[in-house]
């Protein structure tokens, strides 16, 4: 991952945290769009050569993605059980637990399902869905010329508009399950990221990427301005309208593209932001649990103190989980997978 984009992940995960902490209402919707588009962009840059190869091993690729996502999900899923035991238990939570554990709970637009247990795990379920379809979607998109991609984008926007229009006439929980959570609808964000990645690679191959001292200041100001406008946009939009992902696409696209340029911007080389970005998935899955446990066990009336406490605990806990739990588990599973592949070959 390009360092500057990793730092942006650190910034946007803070926006999502502030959303769930109750001090930035629009931060969640805007932040999720950024992460989904960036996911398509990053996977395109990272896998564009391998996926096109005739000997591409889909099973090996998917196993690596599963190793990356499932251990983190299961850790936070089990950490949510005490919270469930503190509330009313229902028999349907037992089968739902296994659906959630498999990261299949976003396929049904029912709030008790897609926001079950650790509610924010819906994001990871969608990311895994994108990983499953990426090789197939990427090959189809690469086979299209620029005109065909433009038509595809136009048809996609029309389809998205129809889905949004219909969803807005449904109950709010169902509407959110379709327009905000459903992996089939959020696939629009991901595909937009793939197209963005292909454009970036095309520009890079033609030698049109520029980098010098004179442009560095302009790029820095542009990045700050875009982030500010995105924040203002997410704050001013109506609660329902803020869920419309394409409203954030243009600025998100420009932000990702200029941040991916080989310009050394101090803000985006900040070690703290980069470290936050590196463990952003863990922060995403952990922060909601920290907030819920804090509300249950340590009531704090002062907003600044409450947000600061939750943030410090979230970041500290995420760093510990990343280094001392996830890293050893991932390394062990990766080693086992490699040994299994060698044995079969």
Q: What is the pLDDT of residues 218-274, one digit of tens each?
A: 778 888 999 999 999 999 988 889 999 999 999 999 999 988 877 666 667 788 889
Nearest CA among 245, 239, 240, 255 for reference residue 156: 245
- Residue 122's nearest CA partner among 41, 80, 180, 57 is 180
Q: Is residue 284 within 8 Å of 13, Cβ to Cβ?
A: yes
Parts of the chain with a pLDDT under 70: 1, 207-214, 263-267, 340-345
* Domain enclosing residue 269, as ranges: 3-344
8 Å CB contact between 318 and 286: yes
Biggest CA–CA distance in the chain, Å, is 64
What is the DSSP track for 5-20?
A: HHHHHHHHHHHHHHHH
Distance of CA 137 to CAs 104, 188, 194, 217, 219, Å?
Answer: 20, 11, 9, 37, 32
What's the pLDDT score for residue 273? 87
Q: How far apart are CA 158 and CA 52, in angstroms?
A: 29
- pLDDT score at 163: 95
Report the pLDDT value the prediction gives residue 207, as an integer from 0 to 100: 65
Tell me, what's the pLDDT at 209? 58
pTM > 0.85: yes
Number of domains in the chain: 1
| Rg of the chain in Å (alpha carbons) | 20
Residue 91: its pLDDT value, please? 75
Polymer length in residues for the chain = 345
């Amino acid at each position: 991952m390009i360092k500057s984009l990793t730092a942006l992940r650190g910034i946007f995960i803070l926006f999502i945290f502030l959303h769930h902490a109750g001090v930035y209402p629009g931060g969640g919707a805007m932040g999720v769009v950024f992460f989904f588009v960036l996911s398509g962009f990053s996977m395109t840059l990272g896998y564009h050569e391998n996926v096109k190869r005739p000997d591409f091993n889909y099973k090996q690729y998917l196993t690596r993605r599963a190793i990356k996502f499932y251990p983190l999900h299961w850790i936070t899923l089990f950490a949510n059980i005490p919270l469930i035991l503190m509330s009313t238990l229902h028999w349907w939570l037992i089968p739902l637990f296994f659906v959630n554990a498999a990261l299949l709970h976003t396929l049904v637009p029912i709030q008790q399902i897609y926001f079950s247990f650790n509610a924010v795990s819906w994001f990871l379920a969608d990311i895994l869905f994108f990983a499953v379809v990426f090789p197939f979607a990427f090959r189809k998109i690469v086979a299209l010329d620029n005109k065909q991609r433009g038509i595809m984008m136009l048809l996609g926007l029309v389809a998205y508009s129809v889905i949004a229009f219909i969803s807005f006439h449904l109950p709010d929980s169902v509407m959110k399950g379709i327009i905000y959570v459903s992996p089939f609808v959020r696939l629009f964000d991901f595909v937009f990221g793939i197209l963005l990645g292909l454009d970036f690679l095309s520009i890079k191959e033609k030698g049109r990427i520029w980098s010098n001292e004179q442009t560095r200041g302009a790029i820095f100001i542009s990045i700050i301005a875009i982030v500010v406008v995105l924040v203002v946009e997410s704050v001013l939009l109506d609660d329902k309208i803020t869920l419309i992902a394409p409203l954030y696409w243009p600025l998100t696209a420009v932000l990702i593209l200029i941040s991916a340029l080989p310009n050394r911007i101090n803000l985006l080389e900040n070690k703290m932001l980069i470290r936050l970005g590196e463990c952003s998935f863990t922060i995403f899955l952990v922060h909601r649990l920290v907030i819920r446990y804090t509300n249950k066990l340590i009531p704090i009336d002062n907003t600044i103190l409450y947000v600061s406490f939750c943030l410090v605990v979230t970041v500290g806990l995420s760093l510990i989980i990343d280094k001392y739990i996830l890293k050893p588990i991932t390394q062990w599973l990766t080693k086992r997978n490699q040994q299994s592949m060698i044995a079969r070959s």
